[in-house]
Chain A
């Protein structure tokens, strides 16, 4: 099972004005920070709203979802004593808001699924994309991940001791994934594994690297911050490294002792 990557963009790479990326002011004004960040990253990846029409799969991943809207809705429930509840934060608080907004912007009714499986969310979304590519269900997909940090979530997780070793983080990443190699392909994903035990960096290289020049990104939380879909930013880093000449990058992700995951990104043969 494998798939080909045509483009990757993270929220840090977005340079286009948000009004050009999300031209529908009606949709834009209801978007919270994470939705704006994720949807504009997706639009930058696709080269604008026009790019949505060519997609036959939109697969997103998030561990925490649209936290700020969820918090706003819950706060309203308490403050307004379950009366006079504002509908917008409720509507926008669902995990699949980003996938839905992308589809709405392009009026595209293709396969659209969001994976919410803690630190495996991105890997499960990638697995879905690879399976659809393998089965011939989708040829040209948008794969993405996003998570946001909020002051209340930060406070709670800090009290749990989550940020003793690394800082909290947030981010968004989107990639165009093809079932077949074409002139736009820049890398391929050859392996996605869910090892049953923790592995050291050396063991990861021994088991999964096939090139002596392979790089290993081992728990990239120090660089990208601690959040459930941080491995998606490691994935973007890996694709960029491969596009720049590194033959192979192995990404190892183990979050708070959850079952680890391994993704291997390789240069095109």
Chain B
């Protein structure tokens, strides 16, 4: 799980162009949206692409998006449980 979290942080930094942020700066349990990294709805679309492109994981329904997208840790847990 630790390795997956580290990898996810690296994908987020690269795909979302997070300036001057290193994986160590991202708290895996902090909220991704609003507070924490302060991501927005366009970033949510980018994260959906990261899940599909790198892990082959698709969100089954939009209702589960909110808890899954809460933090890097919840994303990693969802990937682990649904990765093909």
Contacts and interface: CB of A to CB of B under 8 A. Distances in A.
Interface of A: 25-26, 28-30, 80, 84-88, 91
A103 to B, nearest CB: 18
B19 A25 contact: yes
A220 B53 CA distance: 47
Nearest to A86: B49
Q: Which 8 residue pairs of A and B lie closest in terms of their CB atoms, listed nearest first?
A: A29-B17, A87-B45, A84-B49, A29-B19, A84-B53, A84-B52, A87-B42, A86-B49
Interface in B12-31: 15-19
B43 to A, nearest CB: 9
A28 B16 CA distance: 11
B63 to A, nearest CB: 22
A88 B46 contact: yes
Given A87-B42, A88-B42, A30 B52 contact: no
Contacts of A25: 19
Contacts of B42: 30, 87-88, 91
A119 B52 CA distance: 42
A17 B15 CA distance: 24
A78 to B, nearest CB: 15
B38 interface: yes
